[in-house]
C-alpha cells in the first residue's frame, strides 16, 4: 500500500517541540551544574515512576502524530490517488479497534448490544431482543464461557508483556555490559548496585506498564474492553486517540506562551521604567478579561473565519487541526501573564545583585547580560511553571470542550467524550463507561503530571524543598 | 487614603479602554458584522438584502470608526465603535439578539449566581483553612502525608467529574437533593446544596495544599519558636500566631475574587440549571450572541479591577505595617 506523509500544523509544532526538548537534554547532559537537579529528580522514586508513565503517554501521542494519507485503490497503470482520510501510525497499529464498529452502545466486555432490536428468527418470525455484537466476543459460540475466555486471554497477555519486559531488562543489562566488563556483572549491578536504583525503578514501572498494556491489547482484539459509544466506536480506541489532543493542549500552549512570557517578563524586570509600564499594562489588561470569556470570544471569531473560508482547508482533519492549534495559541496568549509576572519579580531581584552590577560596570551589553546571567538564573522558575501548568491545561480542555469552545467536536478528546456521554446519564441502565474511560485516562495523566511536577519543584527550588 | 483610591480608579481607565479596544477588534474588525449576519441567517438565507436587513434590525448598519454621511460630531459619534463599545462605560449594554435588554437581564440573573457563589466562597474558605490547619497540626506524621496525598488526588480529578458524580450519587441514587433546578427564596435552598458542595470539594485539593505551605512557612519563623519557648501550648501557637499571620496572604489572595462572584460559575450553573449569569454567558456563547459576550467581558474586567483595588485596601486592614500613600 502506498501512502503520502501528511504533516499537519500541530504535528509540525510537536516535532519542533520534540527537537527543542532533545536540544535541551543534550545541553543539560554536557553541563555538570545543570545535570545535578535532574539527578535529584531521578533519586526520588516518585519522579522516576511518573516520568515513565508520562513517557508512555507521550509515546502514544507521538505515534498518533505521524500522519499520512493512504492511496485509494485504483486500477493498475492509473495515477495514484490519495483519499481525504488522514490516518496516523497509531490508527494502523490499532486497526482492529478502529474498524470494528458496532451499531450503538455496548457495555465493556459485552457480548450483546445495549439496546433491543427486532431480530428475525430462522423460522421467519421476529422477536425483540438484545442482538449479539458483530465483533465483541464474536468468537465465542457459547456466551457462558466468557469469563473463562477473558481470563485465558488475559493470561496470554501477561505472558506477552512479561516477555517484552524481560527483553527490556536484558537490553538495559547489555547496554551496561561494556562498562561493567561482562554481561553477568552488568546484571548483578543492575539488580543490586545502589547507583542503579533509579534504573531499577524505571524498569519495574516499565515492566508493569508493558504487562498492563499487553493484557489490555490482547483483550481489546476480541472484546470492546471499555465498551462502545453511541455510534458503536470502541471507547478504548477513542481514549487512546484523545491522548494526543490532551498532550498537545498541554505542551503546545507552553511552546507558544514561553517566548512571550520570557521576553516580556524579563524585559519588564530588567529595563524597568517605560518598558515596565507598558508590559505591566498589557498583562493587567489581558488578565482583567475573564479567561474563559476571552478564549470563548477568540474561538467564536475563529469559528466564523473557518466557516466563511472553507476553501482553505482540504481535509476535515486539517480543519479540526487548525482549530486545535488556534486554541493552543489562545490559551497561550491568556496564560503567559502569570509566568511573566513571576519572571519580572525575579529579574527585579537579580538585577540588583553584585555579579550583574559587576557585569554592567565592565560594560557588558544588556542583551548579553540578559542571555548569560539573567536567563540561566530564572530558568528553574520557567521549568517549574511549565510542568505545573501542564496538568491544569489538560483539565481545562475538558471544560472548554464542554462550553463548546474547545477542540473541534469531530476530534477525539476527553472533553468531547465527557460531553457526549453526559446526556446519556439519564438513561436506564446508565451508560457510564464512556465517562469512566475519559475520566480515568485523564486522571492518570494529570496525577502523574502533578506528582512529577512536585519532584521537579523539590529538585529545582531548594527553598521549597522538603517543606511543600 | 481617599486620594489613593481616586488615583487607583484613574489608573483603571486605561486598562478598561484597552479591554474595550481589544474586544472591539475581536468582534468587529476581525469578524465583521457581515460575517455575524451570515452565521445567524444560516447558509440558505444569505442574500445581500437579508444581511443588510439583519444589520439594520440589530443596529450594526453603521461604519466602524468614521461616518461619512453624518454631519459634525455625528461623523465620529454615530459609529459602531461609539455605539457598541464606548457605551459600555456607561453600563449601557444594549440588546441581546432576542431583543431583551442585557442590563436588565444581568440585574435579574446576578442573584441566583450570588446564591451559589457566595456560600461556595465562604464555606470553601473555611473548609480549606481548617483542612490545612489539621494537616499542619499533624505535620511530619503519616496523617499529614495522607492529607497531602488526598489533596494531590483531588487536584488531579477533573471538575466535571465532581459535578457528574455528585449529581449521580446524591441526586439520582440517594435522592438527598434534586439533580438540578432553581427556585428563588428559602424553598429553593435544596437546589443550592449540591452545587455549593461540588464547588467546595472541587477546590479543596488545590487550596488546602497551598494554605498548608503558607502555614508551614509561618511555623518555621522565629516568633513562633519564641512563643513555644515561652511555654505556649501548640494550640495557642497555631491558632493565635500562625493562623493570624498566615491569614494575611490568604485573605488578600481571596479578596480579589470577591467582586467576580457576581458573574457566577459557568460550568456549575449550566450543569445544575441555575438561571444565573454563568449560564447566561454559556448560552450566549453557544448561540453566538456577541452582544452578551461583549457585555460580560467588560463587566468581568471592571469587577477584576475592583478586586485588585479591594486587595490593596485589605492589606491595610489586616497588616498594620502597610500604608497606602
**Residue, of B45 and A222, whose pLDDT is higher:** A222
Point out the residue among B14, B35, B152 whose CB comes nearest to the CB of A450.
B152
At residue A1, does pLDDT exceed 70? no
Residues of B in contact with A296 (CB under 8 A): 285, 293
Q: In which band, very low, low, confident or very high, does the pLDDT at A62 lie, cut at 50, 70 and 90?
A: very high
pTM value? 0.89
pLDDT at A210: 93
Could you tell me if A393 lies within 8 Å of chain B, comparing CB atoms? no
To probe the interface with B, which of A292, A302, A391, A429 has the most B CB atoms within 10 Å? A292
Q: Residue B119: is its pLDDT beyond 90?
A: yes
ipTM for the predicted complex comes to: 0.86
Mean pLDDT on A107-134: 79
Taking the Cβ of residue A442 and every Cβ of chain B, the question of whether any pair is shorter than 8 Å is answered with yes
Which residues in chain A are contacts of B38 at CB distance < 8 A? 308
Give the pLDDT of residue A380: 86
Give the whole-angstrom CA distance, residue B277 versus residue B299.
11
Question: Is residue B13 less than 8 Å (CB to CB) from chain A?
Answer: no
| Mean pLDDT confidence for B226-232 | 91
Task: Report yes or no: B307 at the A interface, CB cutoff 8 Å.
Answer: no
Q: What percent of chain A stands above pLDDT 90?
A: 31
Q: Does B30 touch chain A (CB under 8 A)?
A: yes
Answer for the pair B265, B278: CB distance below 8 angstroms, yes or no.
Answer: yes
pLDDT above 70 (res A33): yes
CB contact under 8 A, B153 and A290: no
A288 at the B interface (CB within 8 A)?
yes
Query: What single DSSP character describes residue A71?
Result: B
Distance CA B29, CA B181 (A): 39
Burial of A22 (0-12, 13-18, 19+ CB in 10 A): exposed
Residue of A nearest to B46 (CA): A308
In this prediction, residue A287 has a pLDDT band, given cuts at 50, 70 and 90, of confident
Whether A468 and chain B come into contact, CB under 8 Å, resolves to: yes
Q: Which of residues 409-428 of A touch B (CB under 8 A)?
A: 414, 418, 422, 425
Residue A417: list chain B partners with CB under 8 A: none
Residues B32-57 have a mean pLDDT of 74
Q: Which of A405, A425, A439 sits opposite B158 (nearest CB)?
A: A439
- The model's pLDDT over B244-286, given as tens digits with 9 standing for 90+, comes to 888 888 887 888 888 888 888 888 888 888 899 989 988 888 8
Distance from CA of B156 to the nearest CA of A (A): 5
Question: How much is the average pLDDT of A139-146?
Answer: 78
The nearest CA of chain A is from the CA of B166 a distance in Å of 12
The answer to whether the Cβ–Cβ distance between B293 and A446 falls below 8 Å is no
B59 pLDDT above the threshold of 80: no
Q: What is the mean pLDDT of residues A165-184?
A: 85
- Say whether residue B35 is in contact with chain A using an 8 A CB cutoff: yes
Q: How far apart are CA A163 and CA B96, in angstroms?
A: 65
Q: Which residue of A has its CA nearest to B216?
A: A467
C-alpha cell belonging to residue B68: 461619512
Asked if B293 lies within 8 A of A398 by C-beta distance, the reply is no
pLDDT, residue A466, reads: 43
Ranges A43-47, B5-9, B182-186, B321-325: which has the least confidence:
B321-325
**Partner A contacted by B246 (CB < 8 A):** no
Count how many pairs of residues, chain A against chain B, have C-beta atoms within 8 Å: 126
**Residue-level pLDDT at A462:** 64
pLDDT given for residue B73 in this prediction: 66
Least confident interval from A344-348, A363-367, A410-414, A425-429: A425-429
Nearest to residue A57, comparing CAs of A202, A238, A246, A218? Answer: A246
Q: Is the pLDDT of residue A26 over 90?
A: yes
Band (pLDDT 50/70/90 cuts) for residue B325 is low
Measured CA distances, A272 to A115, A342, A351, B106, B188 (Å): 67, 15, 10, 41, 54
Note which residues in 97-126 of chain B have CB less than 8 A from chain A: none
Verify whether the Cβ–Cβ distance A300 to B282 is below 8 Å.
no
pLDDT confidence bin for A247, thresholds 50/70/90: very high
Peptide bond into A429 cis (omega under 30): yes
User: What is the fold of A1-100+234-468?
Assistant: MetI-like fold (1.10.3720)
Judged against a pLDDT cut of 80, whether residue B162 lies above it is answered with yes
Report the candidate in B196, B163, B194, B164 with the shortest Cα–Cα distance to residue B176. Answer: B194
Q: Is the dihedral of CA B254, B256, B261, B265 positive or negative?
A: negative
pLDDT category at A467 given cuts 50, 70, 90 is very low
Contact between B300 and A395 using a beta-carbon 8 Å cutoff = no
User: Is the Cβ pair A290, B296 closer than 8 Å?
Assistant: yes
Q: Is A293 on the interface with B (CB under 8 A)?
A: yes
Higher pLDDT, B302 or B95: B302
For residue B322, pLDDT over 80 is answered with no
Running DSSP on this structure, what letter comes out for residue A141? S
Is B189 or A60 the better-scoring residue by pLDDT? A60
Q: Which chain A residues are Cβ-neighbours of B30 within 8 angstroms?
A: 301, 305
Candidates A285, A395, A405; nearest CB to B158: A395
Quick one: average pLDDT of A394-399?
90
Residue A468: its pLDDT value, please? Answer: 40
Amino acid at each position: 500500500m502506498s501512502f503520502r506523509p501528511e504533516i499537519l500544523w500541530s504535528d509540525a509544532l510537536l516535532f519542533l517541540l520534540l527537537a527543542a526538548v532533545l536540544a535541551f537534554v543534550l545541553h543539560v547532559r554536557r553541563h555538570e551544574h545543570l545535570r545535578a537537579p535532574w539527578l535529584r529528580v531521578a533519586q526520588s522514586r516518585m519522579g522516576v515512576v511518573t516520568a515513565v508513565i508520562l513517557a508512555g503517554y507521550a509515546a502514544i501521542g507521538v505515534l498518533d502524530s505521524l500522519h499520512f494519507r493512504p492511496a485509494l485503490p485504483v486500477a493498475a497503470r492509473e495515477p495514484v490517488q490519495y483519499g481525504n482520510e488522514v490516518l496516523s501510525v497509531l490508527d494502523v497499529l490499532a486497526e482492529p479497534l478502529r474498524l470494528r464498529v458496532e451499531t450503538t452502545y455496548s457495555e465493556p466486555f459485552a457480548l450483546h448490544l445495549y439496546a433491543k432490536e427486532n431480530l428475525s428468527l430462522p423460522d421467519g418470525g421476529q422477536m425483540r431482543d438484545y442482538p449479539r455484537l458483530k465483533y465483541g466476543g464474536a468468537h465465542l459460540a457459547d456466551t457462558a464461557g466468557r469469563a473463562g475466555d477473558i481470563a485465558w486471554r488475559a493470561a496470554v497477555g501477561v505472558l506477552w508483556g512479561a516477555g517484552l519486559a524481560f527483553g527490556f531488562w536484558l537490553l538495559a543489562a547489555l547496554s551496561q555490559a561494556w562498562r561493567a566488563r561482562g554481561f553477568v556483572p552488568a546484571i548483578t549491578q543492575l539488580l543490586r548496585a545502589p547507583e542503579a536504583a533509579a534504573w531499577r525503578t524505571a524498569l519495574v514501572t516499565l515492566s508493569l506498564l508493558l504487562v498492563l498494556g499487553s493484557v489490555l491489547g490482547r483483550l481489546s482484539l476480541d472484546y470492546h474492553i471499555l465498551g462502545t459509544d453511541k455510534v458503536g466506536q470502541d471507547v478504548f480506541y477513542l481514549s487512546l486517540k484523545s491522548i494526543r489532543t490532551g498532550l498537545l493542549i498541554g505542551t503546545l500552549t507552553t511552546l507558544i506562551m514561553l517566548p512571550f512570557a520570557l521576553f516580556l517578563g524579563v524585559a519588564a524586570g530588567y529595563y524597568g521604567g517605560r518598558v515596565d509600564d507598558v508590559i505591566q499594562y498589557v498583562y493587567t489588561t489581558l488578565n482583567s478579561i475573564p479567561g474563559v470569556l476571552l478564549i470563548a470570544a477568540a474561538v467564536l471569531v475563529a469559528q466564523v473565519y473557518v466557516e466563511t473560508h472553507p476553501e482553505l482547508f482540504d481535509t476535515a482533519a486539517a480543519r479540526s487541526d487548525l482549530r486545535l492549534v488556534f486554541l493552543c495559541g489562545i490559551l497561550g496568549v491568556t496564560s503567559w501573564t502569570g509566568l511573566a509576572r513571576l519572571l519580572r519579580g525575579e529579574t527585579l531581584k537579580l538585577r540588583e545583585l553584585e555579579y550583574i552590577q559587576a557585569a554592567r560596570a565592565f560594560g557588558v551589553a544588556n542583551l548579553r547580560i540578559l542571555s548569560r546571567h539573567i536567563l540561566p538564573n530564572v530558568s528553574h522558575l520557567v521549568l517549574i511553571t511549565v510542568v505545573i501548568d501542564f496538568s491544569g491545561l489538560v483539565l481545562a480542555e475538558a471544560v472548554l470542550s464542554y462550553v463548546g469552545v474547545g477542540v473541534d467536536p469531530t476530534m477525539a478528546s476527553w472533553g468531547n467524550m465527557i460531553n457526549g456521554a453526559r446526556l446519556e446519564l439519564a438513561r436506564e441502565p446508565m451508560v457510564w463507561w464512556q465517562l469512566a474511560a475519559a475520566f480515568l485516562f485523564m486522571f492518570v495523566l494529570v496525577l502523574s503530571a502533578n506528582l512529577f511536577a512536585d519532584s521537579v519543584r523539590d529538585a529545582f527550588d531548594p527553598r521549597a524543598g522538603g517543606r511543600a | 487614603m481617599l486620594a489613593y483610591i481616586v488615583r487607583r480608579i484613574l489608573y483603571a481607565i486605561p486598562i478598561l479602554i484597552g479591554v474595550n479596544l481589544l474586544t472591539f477588534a475581536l468582534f468587529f474588525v476581525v469578524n465583521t458584522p457581515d460575517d455575524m449576519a451570515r452565521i445567524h441567517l444560516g447558509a440558505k438565507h444569505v442574500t445581500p438584502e437579508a444581511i443588510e436587513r439583519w444589520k439594520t434590525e440589530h443596529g450594526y448598519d453603521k461604519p466602524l470608526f468614521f461616518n461619512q454621511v453624518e454631519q459634525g460630531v455625528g461623523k465620529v459619534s454615530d459609529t459602531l465603535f461609539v455605539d457598541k463599545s464606548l457605551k459600555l462605560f456607561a453600563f449601557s449594554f444594549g440588546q441581546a439578539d432576542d431583543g431583551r435588554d442585557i442590563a436588565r437581564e444581568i440585574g435579574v440573573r446576578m442573584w441566583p449566581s450570588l446564591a451559589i457563589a457566595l456560600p461556595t466562597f465562604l464555606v470553601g474558605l473555611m473548609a480549606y483553612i481548617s483542612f490545612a490547619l489539621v494537616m499542619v497540626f499533624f505535620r511530619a506524621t503519616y496523617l499529614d502525608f495522607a492529607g497531602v496525598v488526598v489533596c494531590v488526588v483531588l487536584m488531579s480529578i477533573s471538575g466535571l467529574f465532581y459535578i457528574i458524580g455528585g449529581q449521580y450519587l446524591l441526586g439520582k441514587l440517594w435522592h438527598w437533593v434534586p439533580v438540578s433546578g432553581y427556585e428563588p427564596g428559602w424553598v429553593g435552598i435544596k437546589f443550592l446544596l449540591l452545587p455549593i458542595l461540588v464547588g467546595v470539594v472541587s477546590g479543596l485539593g488545590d487550596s488546602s495544599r497551598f494554605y498548608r505551605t503558607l502555614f508551614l512557612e509561618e511555623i518555621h519563623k522565629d516568633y513562633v519558636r519564641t512563643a513555644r519557648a515561652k511555654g505556649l501550648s501548640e494550640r495557642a501557637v497555631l491558632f493565635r500566631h500562625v493562623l493570624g499571620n498566615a491569614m494575611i496572604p490568604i485573605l488578600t489572595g481571596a479578596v480579589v475574587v470577591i467582586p467576580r462572584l457576581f458573574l457566577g460559575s459557568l460550568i456549575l450553573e449550566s450543569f445544575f440549571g441555575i438561571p444565573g449569569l454563568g449560564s447566561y454567558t454559556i448560552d450566549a456563547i453557544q448561540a453566538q450572541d456577541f452582544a452578551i459576550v461583549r457585555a460580560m467581558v467588560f463587566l468581568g474586567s471592571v469587577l477584576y479591577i475592583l478586586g485588585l483595588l479591594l486587595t490593596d485596601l485589605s492589606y491595610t486592614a489586616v497588616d498594620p505595617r502597610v500604608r497606602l500613600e
